[in-house]
C-alpha cells in the first residue's frame, strides 16, 4: 500500500485521511484499547480493522503491545506534532491574509477604498 521509503509526514496524512482511522485515534486518546474494543463502533470485518491498525502503526500513530493473547493499542501522538508544525506555517499565512482583508473591508466601510 505504501512505498517502503516514504516520509513520515506523508504517512501521517495518509493515515489521517480515513475517517475510521481518525475515529480509532480519538478512541485511543482516551486510553489503550484492544482490537475488539476499537472495532465495536464499526460494521467492518476484523481483517479490515486490522488493516486500519497497520496503517496507523506504520505511520507511528499507535503502538501495539502484547498481553497474553491480546494486542492492546495505544496512541503515540508524536507524528501529530510534525503535522501541527507543518500546518502552523500555513495558518500564519492565512491569518495574515485575513488581517489584510479585514483592513481592506474597514477602509471600504469608511468610504476610503483607494
The answer to whether the beta carbons of residues 58 and 86 sit under 8 Å apart is: no
Mean pLDDT for 33-45 is 94
Judged against a pLDDT cut of 90, whether residue 41 lies above it is answered with yes
| Summary mean pLDDT of the chain | 88
Judged against a pLDDT cut of 90, whether residue 66 lies above it is answered with no
- Of 15-19, 21-25, 94-98, which gets the smallest average pLDDT? 94-98
pLDDT value of position 69: 67
Domain boundaries, the chain: 8-109
pLDDT value of position 43: 95
CATH 1.10.10.10 matches 8-109 = yes
Judged against a pLDDT cut of 60, whether residue 86 lies above it is answered with yes
Judged against a pLDDT cut of 90, whether residue 76 lies above it is answered with yes
pLDDT value of position 5: 52
Amino acid at each position: 500500500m505504501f512505498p517502503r521509503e516514504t516520509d513520515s509526514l506523508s504517512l501521517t496524512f495518509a493515515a489521517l485521511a480515513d475517517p475510521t482511522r481518525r475515529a480509532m485515534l480519538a478512541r485511543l486518546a482516551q486510553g489503550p484499547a484492544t482490537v475488539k474494543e476499537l472495532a465495536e463502533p464499526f460494521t467492518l470485518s476484523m481483517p479490515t480493522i486490522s488493516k486500519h491498525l497497520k496503517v496507523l502503526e506504520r505511520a507511528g500513530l499507535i503502538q501495539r503491545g502484547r498481553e497474553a493473547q491480546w494486542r492492546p493499542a495505544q496512541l503515540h501522538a508524536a507524528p501529530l506534532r510534525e503535522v501541527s508544525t507543518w500546518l502552523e506555517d500555513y495558518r500564519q499565512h492565512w491569518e495574515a491574509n485575513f488581517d489584510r482583508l479585514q483592513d481592506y473591508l474597514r477602509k471600504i466601510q469608511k468610504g476610503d477604498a483607494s
